[in-house]
Structure 1
Amino acid sequence: MSVKFNLSFAACLLLTGLTLAGCSSSDPLDRAIAEGTVTVDGTPLAIGDITFVDDDPSVQSDNVKVVDGAFSGPVIPGTKKVQIRGYEVVSANVPADSPEAGTTFKKQILPARFNDQTELTETIPSSGPLSYSLTTQ
């Protein structure tokens, strides 16, 4: 009898937990969706990410992936520095019989003026889609 009771109690707890977990879908940080496009020298950025960095260091930064020139993701509202990184996938330069043979990694391809030394800023939420047309020359 106690085994049956314990199983019923455990099932009830599990169901209650799952139900409550589904009830809190709101973001406690009230993020807005930042979406738009990134081109580099007129070509959509194939692989990359954008980091939105708040002026206040106590506010978390948000990272949004860029794929085929497009991005969309949640960002905490406010004025942000915009750091854009682009990558190309390259193979590790190791001998063919090495355990690392066939390994690939992402190589950062954009100049520091678009990321670590950025002067790009944005106010989130924006009034429409964001567009970054970067030139490397």
Structure 2
Amino acid sequence: MFNPRNPLFLLAVVVATTSLGCGSGDHGPKRFPISGEVTFDGEPIEMGDILFVPEDADAATDAGSIRGGTYHLEATAGAKRVEIRAIREIPGKLVEDGANPGKKRAAEEEFIPAQFNSESRLTVDVATNGSQTFDFNLESHD
């Protein structure tokens, strides 16, 4: 016979009620596939990151990698500010390798101007229908 004051019974009730709604299924806001090409001064950005920052400060930022001048990711719908970041090696310059004391590695620099990342005015509107393409052709003299 069960006793509703029995600690094991109470534990079973807690476990059963907290697991309601668990299982497979979609969680969070719906996401939509977006992709595109990213160039800087006419050349594909070989390796970098692209962020789609929502106007709503409480919403999550969608981010993806740029590889070989292209990116592919899924993003939530709505108006976004776009930030593009990339680094490259500085030819002939070496720095200490923090991960390997006593060793040197090629120095790197962020080469995308702030006007395309921390101070970006690039914007897109991710729609709720199918996949979308957003290409970004950045110029250093913009």
Is the structural similarity TM-score above 0.5?
Answer: yes
Question: Shift in Å at residue 113 of structure 1?
Answer: 0.1
- Which of these two proteins has the greater Rg computed from alpha carbons? 2
Higher strand share: 2
CA distance in 2 between counterparts of 1:46 and 1:27 reads: 33
CA distance in 1 between counterparts of 2:61 and 2:107 reads: 24
Query: Are 2:51 and 2:61, in contact at CA under 8 Å, matched by a contact in 1?
Result: yes
Aligned to 1:75: 75
Q: Percent identity?
A: 25
Aligned to 1:101: 103
The root-mean-square deviation of aligned C-alpha atoms, in Å, is 2.6
Query: Are 2:33 and 2:132, in contact at CA under 8 Å, matched by a contact in 1?
Result: no
Q: How does the TM-score come out when normalised to structure 1?
A: 0.71
Moved over 4 A (4+): 89-92, 102-106
Query: Are 2:39 and 2:137, in contact at CA under 8 Å, matched by a contact in 1?
Result: yes
Question: Shift in Å at residue 102 of structure 1?
Answer: 4.4
Question: Shift in Å at residue 128 of structure 1?
Answer: 3.5
Question: Shift in Å at residue 104 of structure 1?
Answer: 6.0
Q: How does the TM-score come out when normalised to structure 2?
A: 0.69
> Match of 1:85, SS?
strand
- The counterpart of 1:116, out of the listed 106, 118, 133, is 118
Query: For structure 1, which runs of at least 5 residues remain unmatched after alignment?
Result: 1-19
